[in-house]
Amino acid sequence: MDDFAPLFVDIDLPEAVLLRDAPVLEISEPKVPKAAPTLHPNDADAIWYRGHGAAMTLSPEGGILAWTPENGLGIAAHPAEPNEGHARLTPAGGIAYIREVNGGFVVDAAVVEAEQFCCAVRLTSPEGQARTLITLNPAGGDNYLFLSEKEGLLEWRDDAGSVEVTMPSPGPDMWVLAGYDHGRLSMTAAKTGAKVPASQTSLTASASLATALSGSSDLFIGCRSHRKGILKTLGSSVIHDVLFWLDIAGTTPADLEKITQACRFAEAQGDAS
């Protein structure tokens, strides 16, 4: 077989026409995962109760006298009547709740003539027994709406039992999002750092609940009311953040994206002062 002399050309040839003894390895830059988008909860239209020292007014003994929302946007929470200095910040931040001890707070007239609202709570619940997380309690009403965790099960329902949504808790570190829309309830939950999934919605709406919430309602955090004696509703957890939205139920894809971005921002800020 005849030997062929190499051919030299003074032009650049495409790689596909070149014969090489070994393939050319392409070196590419390592892919850096994109950071999840974040949005300050206030910019996401939320009232943000952040569990850190700068938000708290403390008594000389260290009890929390007032919990001011971030940037002063919203009504400050104050201790519920049975909370006689029981609530304390943990060393790492977040408010510690003790089983059968009332460390609850209340935001007076947080919702007036409720038609839609939603609330996202970030908590740590190692035992799956956080019990009452939030309550919407109408002034002078017999019925109220509460979010709780009991034996690893999340429950968003009214006290009269006319409407409810339940699901397993993803705990121990998690977000729970509870929504209300003209008597219909919705809820979803995710581990801290995960995307908030689509909500589970009650099959029916409760006309009686809508009537109960048609006036002014107080928002309780960590308890159900000013009443003493209902200790079985008080559990063990650390509540880090409470984000509250008026006028949205938090169920549309656009709302869930905005809420997820607000959750990411709250996580990034952490509980530090």
Residue 38 has pLDDT above 90, yes or no: yes
The whole-model pTM stands at: 0.86
In degrees and rounded to multiples of 5, residue 44 shows phi and psi of: -90, 10
3-state DSSP assignment of residue 254: helix
Structural domains of the chain, ranges and CATH numbers in brackets: 107-269 (2.60.120.200)
Residue 18 has pLDDT above 70, yes or no: no
pLDDT of residue 171: 87
pLDDT of residue 24: 52
Distance, in Å, from the CA atom of 52 to the CA atom of 59, rounded to the nearest integer, reads 15
Condensed to tens digits (0 to 9), the pLDDT of residues 178-224 reads: 999 999 999 999 999 998 999 999 999 999 999 999 999 999 999 99
- Bridge partners for 66 per DSSP: 57
Residue 13 has pLDDT above 90, yes or no: no
Share of the chain above pLDDT 70, in %: 86
**Mean pLDDT, residues 9-31 taken together:** 58
User: Residue 270: pLDDT band by 50, 70, 90 thresholds?
Assistant: confident
Condensed to tens digits (0 to 9), the pLDDT of residues 109-160 reads: 999 998 999 999 999 999 999 999 999 999 877 899 999 999 999 999 999 9
pLDDT of residue 65: 96
Per-chain mean pLDDT for the chain: 90
Distance, in Å, from the CA atom of 27 to the CA atom of 30, rounded to the nearest integer, reads 9
Q: Is 36 exposed, middle or buried (0-12, 13-18, 19+ CB in 10 A)?
A: middle
Distance, in Å, from the CA atom of 217 to the CA atom of 109, rounded to the nearest integer, reads 5
Query: Is the CB of residue 173 less than 8 Å from the CB of residue 157?
Result: no
Return the HEC string of 196-252.
CCCCEECCCCCHHHHHHCCCEEEEEECCCCCCCCCHHHECCEEEEEEEEEECCCCCC
- Bridge partners for 5 per DSSP: none
Residue with the bigger pLDDT between 201 and 273: it is 201
